[in-house]
Structure 1
Amino acid sequence: MERTALNPEQRVAVEHGDGPLMVLAGAGTGKTRVLVHRIVRLVEDGTPPWAILAVTFTNKAAGEMRHRLRELLGDAADAMWIGTFHATCARLLRRFGEHVGLTRSFVIFDDNDQIKLVEKLLKETGLDEAVSPRTVLSRIDRAKNRGIDPRTPTGSFDDVIEQIYPLYQAQLARENAVDFNDLLLKTIELFKFESAARVLKVKFRHVLVDEFQDTNKVQYQLVWRFAEATRNLAVVGDDDQSIYAWRGAEPRNLLDFDRDFPDARVVKLEQNYRSTQTILDAANGIIRKNCDRHDKALWTDRGGGEPIEIYQAGDERGEAYFVAQSIRRLLDDGPHSPNDIAILYRTNAQSRVLEEHLRAARVPAKVVGAVSFFERKEVKDVIAYLRLLANPAADSAFERVVNVPARGIGDTTVDRLRAAARASGAGLLDAARLAARGEVSGLGPGPRRKLQAFVALIDGLGDVIASGASVAETIIQVIERSGMRAKLEADQTSESRDRLDNLAELVTTASDFDDEVAPAPGASLTGMAAADGGGDDAPGDGEPGDDEPRAPTIEDFLERIALSSPADQAADAQVVLMTIHIAKGLEWPVVFITGMEDGLFPSLREREGTSEDAALEEERRLAYVAITRARERLVLSQARTRRVWGEIRIQVPSRFLDDLPPDSLAQPRRTRIATPAPRIVDGDWAGRARRPRPVRDDLDQRTSYDDEPVFQVDGDFVVGAEVSHAALGSGRVVAVTGTGKDCRVVVDFGVVGRKTVFAKFLEHAAPGEGSTTGDRLN
């Protein structure tokens, strides 16, 4: 085989003979090439293809490796064992499974099968209201990843898991079934049986493992068993890209490999073939702060490349506006197509405002690895509650939420309600009211009490709306009173945390909507009509006309969602939005990384069983992965403030920005502040047709409010007064409306923009304190 295309370090790894080998392959350094060429070399040196095992983590990676090997070796590649851990183990268990209680026809339970089984067991044990099936399955999965079986002494699990785990495993055995974890565990168990172990220990003369930093404890035990006799184990990985500890990966498997195999040859691949040196310097600057790693630094002979841009917006809308406009300009100016661009973020909840602004900028885009924001289950659940509150006859909304979160109202009860609704000609909510009063036959005391509680919940939420609560406050009450928030917080899984983030973002969406749709202070069409002497179109009898400013309603919000969330249109080329975890292994010419703020990225959440230092090191590895996805251009963005659960929070720039080499940046760290983004109405920017604003190349716009009307209403605060807010800082009053406890003040906070706040949250600035607006903008 011609190996002149290999660099010196790659060649050392490919030509290594027998014995353990660890290849530390940095991002973009050609690890797949090394694996493929090493396998070819083994075959050329006389190793039978069937005696080679190459293990990957994804079917895609396994398929790519097999394809390359077929090009180089022809049909010989088909005799090799190339596949994922699960596929390899399933193949072995088909042959040797009788030793561990499986027939050749055993079935593999997928995620849905497992959830249904756990639901059944929780119901049979009367624990279905104590914990969610997803939480139970997550804990069982965690236990299996650590090699803990159901016979572990009491104390390793909480009471529910300790009760369900043995029942779960027993049911799998009765059905001649395994889950994905069992495929590995039962394969390891085979080595306890002499007849099977005798074959398995010598079956594979060479074992190669890709992405070794992502292996868990069980996977490491498995490959060690396969290679125990020959010690011909070659692992390829990058400890700097170990980002899956939250799902059981053990970074120490790679970090300690040379300790477990003292005679292992260690080869470092540091020459990068993907990114410019500027981008690599940024990645090196962040990752070198980690203590628990093998020392290495990426380099390339491609040259420096474009400097990295850091952009600071006033809030998340300004950030999304900047990203959308920057991409629009890249597409208009060329030579980039949408497929060349990716937007990465730490959490799925960040996609919502980005999706909105990309649509407004007419940028074709798609969310990868997650459904679009308003299609996510928890978001749709809350929206269904709102639909039911706005329209009690909305039966589809009733059916969606009557048992969300689980409150013991099952299909049988709903069937009885359907029958009662048909008989009375009423909707399901009305039928539930009848049932709560005992006027629906076939329902016992238990279902009746649960329906009484649900009806009381809906009535209580109706009272919240009647009291004049904002849309955001109504949504908060839905999330709190329904039990959705408490349920997700109790689950304590990464999925439940993501769902909480999405609910918080929904509240933020509603808060933005409340601010946008709320009538301008002092603006009253009724009053203006009266001042002008009325007219044929003037409202009469004190009732508001069609154009009368009014507070935003639930109905308005639902309409806005329906109009601003069109189904994704098919496009040949689309900008992609995804979390950094999903982006691993991918690359683009242009990458935007958003949300570069402490608490967001790095995330500062506590993780069960993980120290604060270890969690921060994993966040740095995640930043390293994100940065090394970019080939030519990298843009990092952040926001000075974000709404979280409807409240505005001052954000601190990510500590990772301090680790970037100054000479890799387009400008000093004190970046420019953008103007507040225009509001989006019905999928477009409000007012854009009336007052188009040219966008300068650097997008460093500063808004002047001199040409806008100013309203003043008597109150404790007057227009022009200097005020301060605990979170937003100092600013100048530009409008006041209402009096007493209902007094609302519009304040220009400079960088933060104009915000409407209740007067009770403001204080008059101390004499001589002055506004910091000008200082913030400079």
Structure 2
Amino acid sequence: VNLSRVIGVPPRGIGAKSMQGLARWALDQQIPLFTAMQRIAACRSAGEPCPVALPSRAAKAVADFATMVDELIASSANTRIVDLIDQVLEATGLRRHIQSGEDRPDERWENILEFREIAQEYNAEEPADGLATLLERISLVADVDSYEESEESITLITLHQAKGLEFPVVFIVGLEEGLLPHSRSMESEEQLEEERRLCYVGITRAQHHLYLLRAFRRGFMGSTGPTVSSRFLREIPGHLLTAAKREQSVKPASKRSSFGARGPAIDAPPAPMPVRPTLEIGDLVRHSSFGEGVVTDFVASAGDHEVTIQFREDVGVKRLLLSFAPLEKIEG
């Protein structure tokens, strides 16, 4: 978000000349503009002179703005998104500014309320990076607002963007464990169910033809390896699917088999080799995010193994794919 635009809504008594002077000073100091504002706030708090040649009123307004933003950032760490929105509306004075304005106040306020309603629904998910993820989703939806149904073109969108749209033909790619569902979604039933719901959204966008695609081998971190078909693909009744026939290549080709190296083309990749479990029930393990835990169960899952681990009380039980989970066995 453009900081110079945000700081002027509502007006705070920081004129264009003051902003230009502040921006020049930040550039001379080789620091971000907001860091410059924070330094002004720190100087005023310590009773020191303002490091930038600004009118006293403008310097106070800049310091107050920086302090307010810092407080909101600190509050965001342990505040629900919808409550944070309410705090921002009150602290910034945006609510009063919109409702007392002359430029379509009702319409503008309805937009704010709609955003708040989306945040209210999103609170049910509450991922660790909830606010950033919510804003990302909203920006993706905004991009689809310009979609023209009458245009004869291919529309490349995410599953989130596809909500509310329909197409004669739909291709969903990446139906592999670790992609759809994403490896991070294996950490809780709620996240996994959200991935399943998104997949269903994509499937139901097709009016006439639906193509579900997966790679038998995929590059990852500089090398390629076999993949495991998505559990969502395997959950679809077989009589509803028509498997595509793979045709033999006519022309010889080469295929990148690892980063910076080439190997012979693979026309019909072999089925994924089973992942050999290196853990047993009762083993102590360490996860890079969840800490230490005890293996309580193993379930074979089409070439992979789903391991159930009891972590400490505040983390709980997690089901993870052995091939993706960053696990370390604790010996002894």
TM bucket by the smaller chain?
0.3 to 0.5
Higher helix share: 1
> Which structure would you say has the larger Rg?
1
Higher RCO structure, 1 or 2 (CA under 8 Å, sep 6+):
1
Higher strand share: 2
TM-score using structure 2 length:
0.42
TM-score using structure 1 length:
0.20
